[in-house]
Amino acid sequence: MSLLAAAAIVALLGGTARADEVRQVLPGGQAPAQPTQLARVKAPDESEIQRFCSNIADAARDRRYALQAEELKQLQAGIDERMKALEAKRTEYEEWLKRREVFLARAEDSVVKIYAGMKPDAAAERLAMVNAELAAAILMKLDSRKAGVILNEMDQKAAATLTGIMASAARRVDPS
């Protein structure tokens, strides 16, 4: 039933109705609740508000400081974690640098001179039999032309292995 129809029925029955007073009740439904008057609450005056704000100001400031202190603790913990990671990375780099220096020191000058004086095919055959790191260190100390000829005479797999070792040892940047 529309609002206009309800108003018309009430007018026919002799009553007066305002549009906001008409309510529709569905069959089997509950009767509409009667509107109740809202009790007016007296608004607090300005002095009460000022007292309330001044009373909680210290507690609010303390809570704000506590939250800031907690946030600073969390930030400090994050910085500490990053410092530990940085320290671990620095230790790793120093270890890598020491291994590289040891690797280059393995090939003593006398051994290098021996291989420098050999024929490339004989040197390639002998270097293929020794430890790959030692062979790579010797090749790195040789003249680049002589080392290239020796690598050319080697088996492909052995030459590839030695080249990989030499390339990683010759790197000037951190491998990680």
**One-letter-per-residue 3-state SS of 107-140:** CCHHHHHHHHHCCHHHHHHHHHHCCHHHHHHHHH
Question: What integer pLDDT is reported at residue 92 of this predicted model?
Answer: 94
**Which DSSP symbol is given to 30?**
P
Per-residue pLDDT at 17: 46
What's the alpha-carbon Rg for the chain, to the nearest Å?
A: 46
Angle between the 120-129 and 156-170 helix axes, to the nearest 10 degrees?
80
125 class by beta-carbon count within 10 Å (0-12 exposed, 13-18 middle, 19+ buried):
middle
- Separation between Cα atoms, residue 8 and residue 18, nearest integer Å: 11
Say whether pTM exceeds 0.85: no
Q: Give the span between the Cα atoms of 173 and 155, in whole angstroms.
A: 29
pLDDT at residue 103, as a whole number: 75
Per-residue pLDDT of the chain (176 residues; tens, 9 = 90+): 555 555 555 555 555 545 455 555 556 656 555 555 555 556 667 788 888 878 888 888 889 999 999 999 999 999 999 999 999 999 999 998 888 888 777 767 778 888 899 999 999 999 989 888 889 988 988 988 999 999 999 989 999 999 898 888 766 655 55
pLDDT at 46: 77
pLDDT of residue 150: 92
